[in-house]
Structure 1
Amino acid sequence: MVAVFPQKHLTDIAEWHRMGEAGIFPPETRMELIEGEILHMAPIGFNHAGHLRRISTVFTFLVGDNAVVSIQSPVQLGDLSEPEPDFALLRPEPNFYSSRHPTAIDTLLLIEISDSTLRFDRQQKLRLYASHNIPEYWIVNLIDNCLEVYRQPQDGDYLKKSVLTTADNIALVALPELQVSVASIL
């Protein structure tokens, strides 16, 4: 007798969109497509939401017309992933991506705000973002009260990794003229 093992059914973005249009998922359910798998997203707590509002306010002021600020909205990465990062800075687009989701080439910076999701954000999300050449990925680490910065994607990882505290400032790779005070987002 031949042993048979269950196989995962991976969903691509087209099928994911058809399921959404068909109303398969309850509207209040928070999910994202990561490497073909449909994953439930963690609930957003007060601290997480407050940090997201803070980051949004700081970056909206800093970037002006130099980038599009995107909050918890899909970014299409290949055919099998459509994560909804907490925050994204995108290349300017006249219609603000109203006719398509932004892709990796449109993305300047992705930020995840992490407490209960820290391990997932450091491992699976980091690999996903690096493998799609997202130039800069930040984790606002609410557990250790620091900013983890990942730059120079190569082969599914980032070559440059640093940890910043409230005493530090950082310039973005894509917009080096902008200085962000880490204290302003932690």
Structure 2
Amino acid sequence: MVNGFDYSTLETDRKQKVPLYTTAGIADYWISDVNQRQVYVFREPSLKGYNLEFILQKNTTLSLIAFPEIEVQISQLFP
């Protein structure tokens, strides 16, 4: 915490938002880790959490579930 502001958004996103998004049935949830230049991907929500979780490094490509023809180069997310 710096000046009353919590900068640990990665931890908040992983520990607080993931369960909320799973419960809401969000099929494709990404978390950008700007410090490590990688993306956490969560898919296939269930009652116990996401069934599929993986981390992509900057040299990979990711497709959206809703629009599989759209590909995102992870390196483009971190200029």
1:84-137 CA-partner distances (Å, limit 9, x unpaired): xxxxxxxxxxxxxxxxxxxxxxxxxxxxxxx62111110110000001100110
After TM superposition, the structure 1 = structure 2 runs for residues 84-123 of structure 1, keeping only pairs within 5 Å, are 116-123=8-15
Partner of 2:22: 130
1:22-53 CA-partner distances (Å, limit 9, x unpaired): xxxxxxxxxxxxxxxxxxxx58xxxxxxxxxx
Provide the secondary structure at the position in 2 that maps to 1:130.
helix
Larger RCO: 1 or 2 (CA < 8 Å, sep 6+): 2
Runs of 4+ with >4 A deviation: none
Provide the secondary structure at the position in 1 that maps to 2:59.
coil
Confirm or deny that 1:151 pairs with 2:54. no
Q: CA RMSD in A?
A: 1.6
Q: What 5-or-longer segments of structure 1 have no aligned partner?
A: 1-41, 44-114
Q: What 5-or-longer segments of structure 2 have no aligned partner?
A: none
Query: d(CA) in 2 for partners of 1:122 and 1:153?
Result: 14
Provide the secondary structure at the position in 2 that maps to 1:183.
helix
Partner of 1:174: 66
Query: d(CA) in 1 for partners of 2:38 and 2:59?
Result: 10
CA shift, 1:143, in A, is 2.8
